[in-house]
């Protein structure tokens, strides 16, 4: 095996070579596993990155995706209704737009965010939802959100700490961050051909997380961890963070 250049884990910043394991090589880039926090990441930024455009997202109108959107909308509604009467919600990473559409039909004030202008126009026309075109890490808005939900998006980011910090900044006090993302704890059951590696583009999942990873991400902000749930059917995590209330002195 050729010698590779390691880099620190993007979640726990571990740089200890013996605790970083080589999983596979893809186009000269190495997929690595951090034994400290359970994160799976690449040792370098790939030059060949995927385009998350309209064509990419039209793939997600399969029966299973439509069913999952309904489950997601119900779960978000049940979660946010416990703490907020009339929440303002953001979906970060719109995908097929169906979760946003269903929450809108349920009466929620919700907007969505995506990188691709063609996808935004398509979903606005097809579903009648509001989709802003921007990079989540650069996005600003005229008012804070009471809930941000993001399903299978954070793993596409090279720096998950930046994602968590941005969500914190966009939320109002007591705001909820609702995440779903693959759980690398299932990786050990399936080996290197884990299905979250079998994406349509080899560099879709830049940073895959575990339950242990979530603890390290909490160090990015004062978020309070409300719950972590393993979704065995999807080999994924569902994580709910809460932004603390403003402190009065």
pLDDT at residue 131 is higher than 70: yes
Instruction: Work out the angle between the directed axes of helices 63-80 and 98-105 (0-180°, nearest 10).
Output: 50
pLDDT at residue 174 is higher than 80: yes
Beta bridge partners of residue 239, listed in sequence order: 179, 228
For CA atoms 12, 16, 22, 26, the dihedral sign is positive
pLDDT at residue 3 is higher than 80: no
Structure token pair of residue 145: 């959100």
Give Cα 122 distance to the centre of its chain. 22
DSSP state of 211: H
Q: What is the pLDDT of residue 114?
A: 96
**CA-to-CA distance for 243 and 225, rounded, in angstroms?**
9
Is 41 exposed, middle or buried (CB count within 10 Å of its CB: 0-12, 13-18, 19+)? Answer: buried
pLDDT tier at 229, thresholds 50, 70, 90 = very high
**CA-to-CA distance for 36 and 117, rounded, in angstroms?**
39
pLDDT digit string (tens) for 30-73? 999 999 999 999 999 899 999 999 999 999 999 999 999 999 99
Q: What is the pLDDT of residue 17?
A: 79
Beta bridge partners of residue 208, listed in sequence order: 40
pLDDT at residue 173 is higher than 60: yes
Q: What is the pLDDT of residue 214?
A: 97
Task: Taking residues 171-175, report their average pLDDT.
Answer: 97
pLDDT tier at 247, thresholds 50, 70, 90 = low
Q: What is the pLDDT of residue 2?
A: 58
Q: What is the pLDDT of residue 249?
A: 39
pLDDT at residue 1 is higher than 70: no
Cβ–Cβ < 8 Å for 201, 215: no
Beta bridge partners of residue 176, listed in sequence order: 147, 242
Alpha-carbon dihedral angle through residues 70, 74, 75, 80, given to the nearest 10 degrees = 140
What kind and span of H or E run contains 32? strand 29-34
Task: Taking residues 137-164, report their average pLDDT.
Answer: 97
């Amino acid at each position: 095996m050729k010698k590779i250049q390691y880099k620190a884990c993007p979640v726990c910043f571990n740089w200890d070579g013996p605790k970083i394991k080589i999983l596979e090589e893809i186009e000269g880039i190495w997929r690595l596993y951090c034994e400290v926090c359970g994160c799976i990441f690449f040792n370098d930024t790939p030059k060949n990155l995927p385009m998350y455009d309209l064509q990419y997202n039209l793939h997600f109108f399969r029966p299973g995706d439509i069913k999952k959107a309904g489950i997601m909308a119900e779960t978000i509604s049940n979660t946010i209704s416990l703490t907020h009467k009339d929440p303002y919600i953001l979906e970060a990473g719109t995908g097929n737009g169906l979760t946003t559409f269903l929450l809108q039909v349920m009466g929620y004030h919700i907007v969505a965010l995506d990188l691709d202008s063609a996808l935004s126009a398509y979903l606005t026309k097809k579903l009648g939802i509001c989709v802003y075109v921007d990079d989540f890490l650069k996005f600003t808005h005229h008012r804070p959100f009471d809930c941000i939900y993001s399903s299978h998006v954070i793993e596409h980011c090279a720096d998950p700490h930046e994602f968590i910090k941005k969500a914190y900044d966009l939320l109002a006090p007591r705001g909820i961050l609702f995440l779903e993302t693959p759980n690398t704890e299932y990786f050990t059951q399936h080996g290197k051909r884990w299905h979250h590696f079998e994406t349509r583009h080899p560099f879709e999942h830049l940073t895959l997380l575990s339950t242990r990873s979530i603890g390290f991400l909490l160090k990015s902000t004062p978020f309070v961890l409300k719950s972590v749930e393993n979704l065995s059917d999807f080999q994924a995590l569902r994580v709910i963070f809460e932004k603390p209330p403003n402190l009065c002195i």
